[in-house]
Chain A
Amino acid sequence: MTEIKLFGMALIIISAAAIGCIFADRAKREIKALSSLSRCLMVFESEIRYCNTPLREICARIYVSGELWSDFFGYVSEMLSENDPDAGTGIIWETGAGLFDAPRFLSAEDREEFLRFGNELGKNDRESELGRINMYIDHIKNRLSLLEKNINERVRLCRLLGVTAGVFITILMV
């Protein structure tokens, strides 16, 4: 009986610790996703500034770049090529955000900002478009510096909280 109890306690603690690790990993992935998004936006910026490349082609270029967001932008490019009469950029962007991993790594606040950016993309003149992209890049940079500053503590905290929660639940159950 005692062995089973001990085995159960160990399982609870290990599971809780694993959940803590998952949260820690998610924090790291959020940073990776934002850095990758920032690089993709730089491609947008340079393609629009120097080549006036349409969105569909920019997305196709990012698709082959091997970035974390490649699949998402591949989807956007494909949907824009199909020219579905019922879908605008906003709808395509939002649908894509629900289909692929990279957008899921973003926090709710960042995700909302990302969707807002996509909804307005391609509707303005060149200067406005570049202004919006640069502003969004700056926003991401600020978010990244904030996240990177706290990432070690956040990871440690997630792991520690996982183990602590496991121990706490075990004590409660015993």
Chain B
Amino acid sequence: MDKLDEICRILRDMPGVLIRGLDIDHTLLQEIRLRPFRPLMIKYGGREYFVSEKKRLTENIREAYVVNENDIKNTFLALSGFSTYAFEEEMRRGYITIAGGHRVGIAGKTVTADSKIKSMKYVSFINIRAAGERRGCADDVMPYLFSGDRMMHTLIISPPGAGKTTLLRDIVRQVSDGCGVRRGKNVGVVDERSEIAACYHGIPQNDVGMRTDVIDGCPKAEGMMMLVRSMSPEVIAVDEIGTKEDMEAVFYAASCGCAVIATLHGDGIEDIKDSTHMTGIFGRYVILKQDRYGKRKISVHDGKGMRINDRD
């Protein structure tokens, strides 16, 4: 089943018919957006288009198909497998992962209790983001993450949208399967937001390697502890650490002999220098940045902050 088929399984009514009928290169599809009484929009090959009723991409808003309330309501029902109640936790978080690892963001009226989001009703905005694995994007980084056969504790730092999770996923895959002369290692992934492995019904939809165990939807700190106790991983991967509890769990995992690969929002090593609970454990820092043309630059630093790779 290709990317478009997986996405079209949840699109109902006219949006489903139109998107199914598009003659496009499915690999370039990035996003589909449904908003009530607004044009059906897709992001394709880095550009935004409207979808016309003639099943064509257009930039002319007058030709665009206008999404109605029923399109959204029925799409949301199909998205939840006609079991809205089963996705309350995901609705609270604002997204649902579907087969293929595609992520569907939802927005609407939230129901709150004691200033906390309890649920969401009147889901009116749907954003389907097509999953895109980039196998091999960690090739340039891998040689720097090892000392002999030992994996170093690694922290990937970048601003949002620069590709931290994509890089982490590829590192996990390569560590798990083995890369070059290095043997594969048992990897445990704590995937709190289902972004790394994109599990659907517990099965990873992204390739995270043959020796990888995934604990999905679990809070990071608890997940790391559980993995250490139950799956005896050699490497633990976790996305977007930040709290003191997360770091305590990282220390716990490290003290049990596991190498930790983690990501963090930030611009550089300077961002974590002030954070006392962040320093002192990581032997490698991978800094991701994008230049103004969108080109990604990667620099690898050792535990003291010295750059060790020679090109971006």
Contacts and interface: CB of A to CB of B under 8 A. Distances in A.
A62 to B, nearest CB: 15
Given A85-B12, A85-B16, A124 B77 contact: no
Contacts of B121: 125
Contacts of A48: 85-86
B119 A125 contact: yes
A123 B86 CA distance: 10
A126 B92 CA distance: 13
A125 B86 CA distance: 8
A55 B81 CA distance: 8
Interface residues of B, number: 20
Contacts of B54: none
Nearest to B11: A85
Taking chain A's interface residues, is the majority helix, strand, or loop, or is none over half, making it mixed?
Answer: loop
Interface string A126-140: 101100000000000
Interface in B108-166: 119, 121
Contact of B78 (A52, A83, A124): A83
Interface string A79-117: 010010100110000000000000000000000000000
B175 to A, nearest CB: 33
A52 B86 contact: yes
A120 B110 CA distance: 21
Contacts, number: 58
A124 to B, nearest CB: 6
Interface centre among A54, A85, A123 (most CB of B within 10 A): A85
Contacts of B12: 85
Given A80-B81, A83-B9, A88-B74, A54 B86 contact: yes
Contacts of B84: 122-125, 129
Contacts of A53: 83, 86
Nearest to B16: A85
Contacts of B88: 52, 125-126
Interface centre among B12, B80, B81, B88 (most CB of A within 10 A): B81
Contacts of B11: 85
A56 interface: yes
Given A85-B16, A125-B121, A55 B77 contact: no
Contacts of A126: 85, 88
A162 B72 CA distance: 56
A48 B82 CA distance: 13
Contacts of A122: 77, 80-85
A120 B82 CA distance: 10
Interface of A: 48, 52-56, 80, 83, 85, 88-89, 121-126, 128-129
Given A52-B85, A123-B77, A125-B88, 5 more contacts: A48-B85, A55-B81, A80-B81, A83-B10, A88-B77
